[in-house]
Amino acid sequence: VLDIDWCPHNDNVIASASEDTTVMVWQIPDYVPVRNITEPVVTLEGHSKRVSIISWHPTARNVLLSAGCDNLVILWNVGTGETLLVLDDMHTDLIYNVGWNRNGSLLVTTCKDKKVRVIDPRKQQVVAEKAKPHDGTRPIRAIFVADGKIFTTGFSKMSERQLGLWDLKNFDEPIALQEMDTSNGVLLPFYDADSSIVYLCGKGDSSIRYFEITDEAPYVHYLNTYSSKEPQRGMGFMPKRGLDVSKCEIARFFKLHERKCEPIVMTVPRKSDLFQDDLYPDTPGPEPALEADEWLSGKDADPILISLRDGYVPIKNRELKVVKKNILDSKPPPGPRRSQSACDPDVSRPALEEVLEEIRALKETVQAHEKRISDLENKLCQFTNGTD
């Protein structure tokens, strides 16, 4: 598995991209399963080489993007298992990263050919392009930030790490270009649209730098650095609705170590216990603004916002609205519940299957223990006979 991405519109759904050229979509139950989940809900096949990038559409239900080492970008309707669009003639080399803008109408990509492209996926056109935004040969990363601007990270000719801010209306010159340090790790940018803060996490670094994007020079303002002892191999960024507003938590990362995944919490110290309106403007919620067919037909919509004043309360067993036959309508079984009689007509099939699965696992455990006991008894007999 080379990349994973949680669905922004269904907390039980996660997509994965793999070396075997496939994209798989999984449903995760609310309870801890007895065994590993080995069967995906749907397998999407369309790439000819390994798939290294995956990303859900920010506002349209069930629209998933994948990019592979075959230089293809494919958009899928996960609910039906169908291919929506294939962008096959826009990249001449390996794609480094892909990012959506806020309403999902545009993509920004970086490529081994040292170009940053802004693409309208539905028109299948490159609407803007910048060659060599950073002069170095190391990989570039790019994301959309506020007002349609693009934030990039890369390297200079002298192998110094750089960050850049660009305006699509004038893609020739950067709004801001700053040098960072001489480390080798690629800087991974994460953007919080609610606070206009960009977090930079370098592969192999043990720190996270964060900057505020504003309309005033120097446009990219350094704020602070979080430092730890162990280097990071990767980083995940939690949606704002998962934060603890009572502790003034403004960001939470999941830092991948060699052998563990560590949550990292960013907080703003406040003396008051009241809800901090300035820290928590309305933020994108889990409800999609569009269906896949609506987006494909040309409609755009900004994310549907929710307030965090009372804390986010997830909707249990969220239903997926069916436009066509929807593969994801088979929801994961609910969590453990009180035992019911075997003849009770109200017992649900998922709950019964869960109990049977636990029984099978217990039988296997008992058999393993019985075998171990038998082996130990045989060894004891051999030891006893040898001492007589």
Please name each of the domains of the chain with its CATH number.
Answer: 3-267 (2.130.10.10), 334-388 (no CATH)
Q: Which residue has the higher pLDDT, 82 or 320?
A: 82
Say whether pLDDT at 355 is over 80: no
CA distances 276 to 10, 214, 223, 286, 292, Å, are 27, 21, 20, 22, 35
State residue 325's pLDDT score: 56
Provide the 3-class DSSP secondary structure of residue 271: coil
DSSP 41: S
Q: How would residue 314 be classed by pLDDT, with cut points 50, 70 and 90?
A: low
Average pLDDT of the residues of the chain: 88
3-state SS of 107-166 is EEEEECCCEEEEEECCCCEEEEEEECCCCCCCCCEEEECHHHCEEEEEECCCCCEEEEEE
Q: Are strands 187-192 and 197-202 parallel, antiparallel or unpaired?
A: antiparallel
DSSP 290: B
State residue 340's pLDDT score: 39
- pLDDT tens per residue, range 142-183: 999 988 899 999 999 999 999 999 999 899 999 999 999 988
Among 339-343, 352-356, 368-372, the minimum mean pLDDT is found in: 339-343
Percent of the chain with pLDDT over 90: 65
Task: Walk across the sheet containing 63-68 and list its strands.
Answer: 51-56, 63-68, 73-77, 82-87
Burial of 236 (0-12, 13-18, 19+ CB in 10 A): middle
Both structure tokens of 143: 């994301």
Most confident of 274-278, 288-292, 341-345: 288-292
Say whether pLDDT at 13 is over 80: yes
- What mean pLDDT is predicted for residues 112-139? 96
Instruction: Tell me how far apart the alpha carbons of residues 104 and 110 are, in angstroms, rounded to a whole number.
Output: 17
Single pTM value for the model? 0.80
Instruction: Tell me how far apart the alpha carbons of residues 376 and 250 are, in angstroms, rounded to a whole number.
Output: 56
CA 380, 386, 387, 388 torsion-angle sign: positive
Short-list 270, 334, 297, CA closest to 63: 297
Element at 78 (helix H, strand E) = none
Provide the 3-class DSSP secondary structure of residue 82: strand
Q: How many CA atoms lie within 13 A of 74 on its CB side?
A: 25
State residue 312's pLDDT score: 65
